[in-house]
Structure 1
Amino acid sequence: MTPSSAHPSPRARGETAATKRWEKWTYWPLTGLALLWVIVYTAQVVGDVRGTWQGVTGIFMLAAQLVFAGDYLIRLMWAAPRGSWFRHHLLDLAVVFVPTLRPVRLLGALTRLASFTRTVGSSLRAELLIYGIGSVLLLIWQVSLVVLQAERHAPGANILTFGDAVWWAFCTVTTVGYGDYAPVTVVGRVAAVVLMAGGVVLVGLIVATISSWASERVSHARRREPASTVQGDDPTPPSR
């Protein structure tokens, strides 16, 4: 795999001077807004906010999503070619509907460490591992909130606290499935399907990446062994 195939050029991704300037100006403000969205949504669900404060938090989250939608449309309008930009920025489209995903981009900073960039292969594996683990944790967090919000006041539900929701989400994403907690609402079950589907893909990605890294380490260790050790030769000279 060549560097160009692992990381397509900006032109191949549909980036232009205008889109790069816009992203440079808005990257950190929008990331901060996304983190604030996560905090507000978490407080709303865990605190079971009602009345005036529920309206305030709802308006804030809607306004934040409109900002993300505007950012996406502006960059799409300035991109060239737009089809290529669209294909390489599906995560940005998902952020419009699920702002929890935007902090995933912060994980990319870890891949810039020197230990992750010695070779193209190791850099790519490190990036996949970091993004995989981060995505799993964010998926668990988001689905736990959605399920808790849907289940808390439903008749016959047993997911009544955030701790219950997180425990259920971890059991579901790892396919353990103890069965002590289960959603009973339509929204909760749809969220469970999303968690199961996403969890299988992301956990599989993590396992495959770790296996690839371990295989490479074993291969390097074998190549460093002396030829006599590999062939099983006796290093002592024969007696006369």
Structure 2
Amino acid sequence: MKDLQSGLRVLFEVVFLAVLGLDGFALFISVFLPLQSGTFQAVVLLDLAASAMVLVAYLTRPGVRDRWNVPLVAAPFYFIGVTILGVPQHSPILAALNLVKVAGILMAVRDLAGSVGEFMRRSRLGYGVGLFISVIFVFTILFYIVESPVNPLVVTYEDSLWYVLQTITTVGYGDIVPVTSLGRFTGMVIMFSAIASTSLITASATSTLLETLRGEQERIESRRRDEFREIEARISGVEERLERIEEMLGELRKGP
């Protein structure tokens, strides 16, 4: 039962951190780049769900529930401003609030990472994941800036995101191709970054797994040594008792 609860807690933490990271990325992009109406509505719903998850996570952890950034991270500014109050999507006030919220999300990830965050710090898995996320974040913007003015296949930011995702995952459908020299260079960097991040993630995960197995083996061997020492102590006690019994029998045979 405890193993099941522990597994469910880790699964929730992974989903929670993924939603938080995606929400921070989507909010930052929505502030600076134009998004299609459907994409923006998806960002609003994602931010609403992430805000609710953050609020529940903070309220259920006594050690962090009083942090000053709780109302900031738990407030769905787009949903309140655009959906309820009718504020324009590109309002400077909403943009400023969401940028501050992105900073608060980074703090929330640090506060609420839990065992998953500890595992990533111990295994150095964060380097590979950080490189993967950074490549997506930086090069989607760069590719959009250099290709959208001249490439008819890159009309929106979503097109750039689609190109980077299919390149970094080595899928490569070929429906979007760069036409500028800087765009092609960007694609090359993304390809090599995919190899590097995959290698880092694989090496970190493998190293941590081997270290865990080695530690488990050492614990088993230590437990066995303790059991052997206990058995030896018991055997020594039995031998001492047998010696005393033999001495007593010898004295009885001699008689008075």
Taking structure 2 as the reference length, the TM-score comes to 0.40
Greater helix proportion = 2
Taking structure 1 as the reference length, the TM-score comes to 0.42
